[in-house]
Amino acid sequence: MIMPLHPGAEAIQNKGWLLAHKWLLARRFSQLAILILFMIGPGLGIWLVKGNLSSNLVLDTLPLTDPYVLLQSIFAGHTPETTAMIGAAIVLGFYLLVSGRVYCSWVCPVNMVTDLAHWLRERFNIKSASTISNNSRYWLLAITLLLAFTTGNVAWEMVNPVSMMHRGLIFGIGMAWTILLGVFLFDLLVSRRAWCSHLCPVGAFYSLLGTHSPLRIRADAREQCNDCMDCFLVCPEQQVIRPALKGADKGIGPVVTSANCTNCGRCIDVCSKDVFHFGLRFNNKPVHNKNIHNHTDHSTGAEVL
What b/e string do you get for 254-285 counting C-beta neighbours within 10 Å, with b at 16 or more? bbbbbbbbbbbbbbbbbbbbebbeebebeebe
- Residue 128 in the binding site for another protein (CB under 8 A): no
- Residue 299 in the binding site for another protein (CB under 8 A): no
The single-letter code of the amino acid at 79 is T
d(CA 130, CA 105): 24
CB of 97 to another protein, least distance (A): 22
Q: Which is nearer to another protein, 143 or 302 (CB)?
A: 143
Angle at 91 between CA 37 and CA 255, to 5 degrees: 105
> In sequence order, what are the beta bridge partners of 255?
218
CB of 79 to another protein, least distance (A): 8
Beta strand extents in 43-168 (DSSP E only): 49-52, 55-58, 62-65
Residues 137-156 that bind another protein (CB under 8 A): 139-140, 142-144, 146-148, 150-156
Instruction: Considering only the stretches 53-61, 109-117, 211-219, 288-296, report the one whose residues sit in contact with another protein under the rule CB under 8 A.
Output: 53-61
- Applying CB under 8 A, among 15, 27, 118, 167 the residue interacting with another protein is 167
- Residue 161 in the binding site for another protein (CB under 8 A): no
- Residue 63 in the binding site for another protein (CB under 8 A): yes
- Residue 66 in the binding site for another protein (CB under 8 A): yes
Q: Which is nearer to another protein, 25 or 142 (CB)?
A: 142
d(CA 118, CA 188): 6
d(CA 291, CA 279): 22
Q: Which is nearer to another protein, 108 or 248 (CB)?
A: 108
Q: How far apart are the first and last CA of the chain?
A: 19
Cβ-based neighbour number of residue 92 at 10 Å: 17
Residues 179-238 that bind another protein (CB under 8 A): 179
Q: Which is nearer to another protein, 171 or 278 (CB)?
A: 171
- Residue 81 in the binding site for another protein (CB under 8 A): yes
Distance set, CA 231 to CA 9, 158, 208, 219 (Å): 12, 36, 23, 11
Instruction: Considering only the stretches 16-24, 75-83, 236-244, 274-282, report the one whose residues sit in contact with another protein under the rule CB under 8 A.
Output: 75-83
- Residue 79 in the binding site for another protein (CB under 8 A): yes
CB of 168 to another protein, least distance (A): 7
Give the footprint of another protein on this chain (CB under 8 A): 41, 47, 50-52, 54-57, 63, 65-66, 69-70, 72-73, 76-81, 83-84, 87, 132-133, 135-136, 139-140, 142-144, 146-148, 150-159, 163-164, 167-168, 170-176, 178-179
